[in-house]
Amino acid sequence: MDRSKAGYIEGLVSIIINFILFIIKMWAGIVSNSIAIIADAWHTMSDSISSVVVILGVKLSNKKPDKKHPFGHGRWEQIAAIFIGVILAIIAYDFLKESIINFKGKKAANYGIIAIIVTLISIIIKEALAQYAFYIGRKTNNLSVKADGWHHRSDALSSIVVLIGILFGQKYWWMDSLLGTIVSIMLFYAAYGVIKEAINKILGEKPTPELVAKVENIINTLHPNDLYPHHYHIHNYITHQELTFHIKLDNNVNINTGHKIATDIENKIYEELNITSTVHIEPKDFYHEYD
């Protein structure tokens, strides 16, 4: 699946559907004289904003490397994901604030049949959009698309709060405030996860044990004699990855032979894992302080 094309399509579908939902929710809120549904409509509109960010992030990250950015622009996806995470956190804060205000004022939800129908439609459509974004995110490993999926789900959760308020709000006046608080905590956690994952990739991560095992299997296939691969570092530029590590060779191996061994390993890693690698050669009896 082409990650750029998939990101564009997901963002465009999200913008169109969210705008239609915004119009429907605004109509239902005005007819029902419900501030909660009108606020929920604007929450849906904020999803369109995040989808625009996704499209911009994909477009920017797809730019080819240049002199100032020799490793490409793939990390724009992380920047876009952080931006969406911040939007999620702001929405969560607004939910929490409104829930506290409503609880102090003993304000109960009071909606009509139009609100029930529109809210049910919104929940189904928004969760479908979330699942679609999560699917695209898993297939393309695009963090900003995954973040957009959480934004869709946040809207579905807010609509669930409204629906529960419709069903139980008359009997338990505090139900809407309680559920609003619970959802806001869930959104804060989702925002934390989105931002944490993006920042970790920008700062750099330790190669996973699975990746190290694959690399060492390639090395052992090419050279059964133990080359003691160590000191792994991976640099994730999203559109491609750079892997560096050290190997140890017998002190009597000449430069040409050592170069061929390293080059063969680098080529095989790229062929099997699509990762650009740089192998540093050391004498077998040489040890770093950090080895």
Residue 7: predicted pLDDT: 72
Q: Identify whether 75 is part of a domain.
A: yes
Judge if 131 and 61 occupy the same domain: yes
Residue 117, domain member (yes or no): yes
199 and 218, same domain (yes or no): no
Run of H or E residues at 37: helix 35-61
Asked if residue 288 belongs to a domain, the reply is no
111, 189: one domain = yes
Whether residue 129 is found in the same domain as residue 199: yes
Residues 25 and 128 reside in one and the same domain: yes
How many other C-beta atoms lie within 10 A of the C-beta of residue 76?
20
pLDDT tens digits along 192-219: 887 887 888 777 778 889 999 999 999 9
Question: Which residues of the chain register pLDDT less than 70?
Answer: 1-4, 33-36, 39, 47, 49-50, 54, 57-58, 61, 70-74, 108-111, 169-170, 238-239, 288-291
- Contact criterion met (CB below 8 Å) for 154 and 104: no
Residues 73 and 67: beta-carbon distance below 8 Å: no
Residues 254-275: pLDDT tens digits? 899 999 999 999 999 999 998 9
Residues 85 and 146 in one domain: yes
Does residue 174 sit in the same domain as residue 218? no
268 shares a domain with 168:
no
Task: Tell whether the torsion through CA atoms of 142, 148, 153 and 154 is positive or negative.
Answer: positive
3-state secondary structure of 173: coil
Which one of 140, 168, 203 terminates a domain?
A: 203
190 and 132 in a single domain? The answer is: yes
Q: Which of 151, 178, 203 is the last residue of a domain?
A: 203
Whether residue 246 sits in one domain with residue 186: no
Q: Look up the CATH number of the domain holding residue 133.
A: 1.20.1510.10
In a domain, 106, yes or no: yes
Q: What is the pLDDT of residue 26?
A: 86
CA atoms within 13 A on the CB side of 133: 29
Q: What is the CATH number of the domain that holds 250?
A: 3.30.70.1350
Residue 216: per-residue pLDDT: 93
Cα 196 versus chain centre, distance: 10
Instruction: Give the count of domains, the chain.
Output: 2
* Residue 265 belongs to a domain: yes
Q: What is the pLDDT of residue 173?
A: 76
SS (H, E, C) 45-100: HHHHHHHHHHHHHHHHHCCCCCCCCCCCCCCHHHHHHHHHHHHHHHHHHHHHHHHH
Co-location of 173 and 232 in the same domain: no
Domain boundary among 135, 170, 203: 203
Q: Is residue 291 part of a domain?
A: no
Q: Is residue 289 part of a domain?
A: no
**Which residue range is the domain that position 223 belongs to?**
209-283
- pLDDT reported for residue 143: 73
Shared domain check, 224 and 168: no
Flag whether 167 is in a domain.
yes
